[in-house]
Structure 1
Amino acid sequence: MRFTPHVTVATVVEDQGRFLLVEEMANGRAVFNQPAGHLEADESLMQAALRETLEETGWDIELTAVTGIYLYTAPSNGVTYQRICFAGRPLQQRPEHPLDDGIIGPRWLTRAELATQPERWRSELVLRCIDDYLAGERFPLTLLRGSA
């Protein structure tokens, strides 16, 4: 059997103690996730993070650091994901920007508000990435090599 991990990106975007999350439909239920998605052909990890954040939330952001690199196997389907999580800051919202299919909308929640709803997390990485961010985990964007 061939092992093919999926490369994904995510962003932790904080503004005054609230985090930009995506409320989306997954497996027939509404869940919270960071703005996140798959790396596409011919784009860098940073380009993918900016694109996914805009497509899922309507927000333009500036990436400021790498928060962490995570290996996660989803219990629901057995797929392994390599997630590169970025820290970012919000720049501007584009309310007219169409959101991806399955997205209910962007939501700003505090860590405490999110922590009380573990049944609504897309995966355990949602809170883990925020906790790593809050713990000060910041690696320079230059950590990532390849196309800018």
Structure 2
Amino acid sequence: MRFLPHVTVATIVEHQSRFLMVEEKRDGRIVLNQPAGHLEANETLLQAATRETLEETGWHVELQTVIGIYLFQAANGETYQRVCFSAKPTSHDADRPLDEGIIRARWMSLDEIVDNSAQLRSYLVADCIRDHLNKPHYSLDLIR
């Protein structure tokens, strides 16, 4: 059987020391995540990251850097390869309907995220924020 990991993207949007987070329903509970989702056919990783951010939060963003590439095995046995980007917000479409399952987008401080760590969708949420804050970032040219 062929190994076929899911390709996903996530975007860390930081503004005035707050992070754009998504509250979503997942497996009967409410979890916190960055704007994130799956790569779709015929789109680039950069397009996927900006699209997912807009669909889940109503925020238009400008991607800035690549934070990292992560491999994650979920509890259900599925494997995900996540490419995480940093971005700056450029405008907000407050009237835009959000994706199904998204409760709301909210700006949270690092302390608020840490205080709600039990609510994070996976450990990758915190890992990406820590890497954004503490590790080198890479040019978007890394993505070919």
State the TM-score bracket (shorter-chain normalisation): over 0.9
Aligned residue pair count: 144
- Structure 1: gaps spanning 5 or more residues: none
What is the SS of the residue equivalent to 2:113?
A: helix
Distance 1:61 1:119 in 2: 28
Runs of 4+ in structure 1 deviating by more than 4 angstroms, as ranges, are: none
Q: Which residue of 2 aligns with 1:100?
A: 99
Q: Which residue of 2 aligns with 1:35?
A: 35
What is the SS of the residue equivalent to 1:47?
A: helix
The amino acid that maps onto 2:92 is Q
Q: Which residue of 1 aligns with 2:66?
A: 66
**Offset at 1:110?**
1.1
**Offset at 1:136?**
4.0
- Normalising to structure 1: TM-score of the pair? 0.95
Distance 2:63 2:82 in 1: 16
Q: Which residue of 2 aligns with 1:132?
A: 131
The amino acid that maps onto 2:129 is I
The amino acid that maps onto 2:5 is P
- Structure 2: gaps spanning 5 or more residues: none
What is the SS of the residue equivalent to 1:127?
A: helix
State the percentage of identical aligned residues.
57
1:34-93 Cα distance to aligned partner (Å, 9 max, x none): 000000000000000000000000000000000000000012x11110000000000111
Q: CA RMSD in A?
A: 0.8
Q: Which residue of 2 aligns with 1:78?
A: 77
Distance 1:139 1:110 in 2: 24
